[in-house]
Amino acid sequence: MENILDVQDIHTFIAQYHILQGVNVRVPKGSITALLGRNGAGKTTTLKSIIGLLTPRQGRVVFDGQEVQGMRPYDIAAMGIGFVPEHRAIFRDLTVEENLKLAERTKGDYLRKKEFIFDLFPDLKRLIALPGTSLSGGQQQMLAIARALVAENKLLLIDEPSEGLAPVLIEHMMKAIRELSKDSTVILVEQNFLVASQLAQYYVIIEEGRSVQQGSMKDLVNDKPAIHRYLGAA
């Protein structure tokens, strides 16, 4: 299958710290791929290196057939990558609607996608005029994902969508991610292995800044030793 994203042996530094020491990620088009690994393994750093918020010193990031490493984040994002960061990063001073409108890349994106987004997250519709500050954690997470859906994105990077959510909300979130993955490829960073294993078709395990194992999620679910070794008891 064709890969929409091919991360080849990237090394990324934060200040003088060598965080990523050779990460390879191949993401087949139309799939959900989960980045797995313990806290501090470098999953979020990998996402940031893809979108350009951190610049890899070595290696290549090929998105949609074009090398993007070293480009500015807004140029990379404009090629069709949506980013849902850890802790959501909702703009507090903007209303829900403004948060969504800000994500427009061409005029009218928001109006075109409005219906799709509100079908996915009906809650957002009634919160539309409220400022970002007044949303609950779950609502913020929905808004953060919705924001990545406004523009035509071929790839969505979603960092820890289930973090801090009540189980019933996690269910809802999973349904939404499954729904939106029909239109675009998704890379998911997820601590909760249960969630990841139910959503993703592929996985990459990152351990101490290196990608150590990747393949089909079906195989990993049966590979108890690997789960235990890399992810702790799951």
Partner 1 sequence: MNSFLRKNLVLIGTLVVIAALFAAAAQGMDKQDFVITLLRGLAVGSITFLVASGFSLIFGLLDVLNLAHGTLFMIGAYIGWTVFVRPDTFVDILTPLALILSGFALADVYPALTTRTRLGSSMKRILPWMLIVVSLLLFGYILPKYPIAIWDVGTYAQSPVTFAFMTSQGTRLPVAPIAFSEISSALAWVGLLLASVLAALGLSLFGNDVGQTRSVNWKNFIVFAVLLLIAISGSIFNDPFTNFLLGLSSNWLFVFSVLIAVLSGAGLGALMESALIRPLYSRPIYQLMLTLGLSAIGIEMVRAIWGRPEFVMPKPVFFNGTGDGCPATSFADWWTHNCSTILLWDGRVRVYNEIFIPLVGLFVLISIWLLLQRTRLGMVIRAGVQDREMVEALGINVRRVFTMVFALGVGLAALGGVLAAPSSGLSNVMGESLFLNALIALAIGGLTNYPGAALGSVLVGLIQQFIIKYGQIGIAIPFTDMVFKPSPPLVPASTVLLMVIILLILPNGLLGKKE
Q: Where do contacts with partner 1 occur on this chain (CB under 8 A)?
A: 51, 53, 67, 69-75, 77-78, 83, 85, 89, 91-94, 98-99, 101-103, 105, 147, 151
Nearer to partner 1, 18 or 87 (CB): 87
Nearer to partner 1, 5 or 217 (CB): 5
Shortest distance in whole angstroms from residue 89 CB to partner 1? 4
What distance in Å separates the CA atoms of residue 204 and residue 207, rounded to the nearest whole number? 10
Nearer to partner 1, 51 or 170 (CB): 51
Shortest distance in whole angstroms from residue 112 CB to partner 1? 16
Radius of gyration of the chain (CA): 17
Terminal Cα-to-Cα distance of the chain (whole angstroms): 30
Nearer to partner 1, 153 or 162 (CB): 153
**Cβ-count burial of 212 within 10 angstroms (0-12 exposed, 13-18 middle, 19+ buried)?**
middle
| Sign for the pseudo-dihedral over CA of 125, 127, 133, 136 | negative
Shortest distance in whole angstroms from residue 38 CB to partner 1? 24
Residue 46: both structure tokens together: 């990998």
Please name which of 45, 41, 20, 135 lies closest in space to residue 88, comparing C-alpha atoms: 135
Shortest distance in whole angstroms from residue 182 CB to partner 1? 22
Shortest distance in whole angstroms from residue 83 CB to partner 1? 4
Please, what's the b/e burial string for 81-104 (b: 16 or more CB within 10 A of its CB; e: otherwise)? bbbbbbebebeeeebbebbbeebe
Q: Which residues pair with 155 in a beta bridge?
A: 81, 185
Nearer to partner 1, 155 or 170 (CB): 155
Helix/strand/coil for 143? helix
CA 5 vs. chain centroid, Å, equals 13
Shortest distance in whole angstroms from residue 72 CB to partner 1? 7
Nearer to partner 1, 107 or 233 (CB): 107
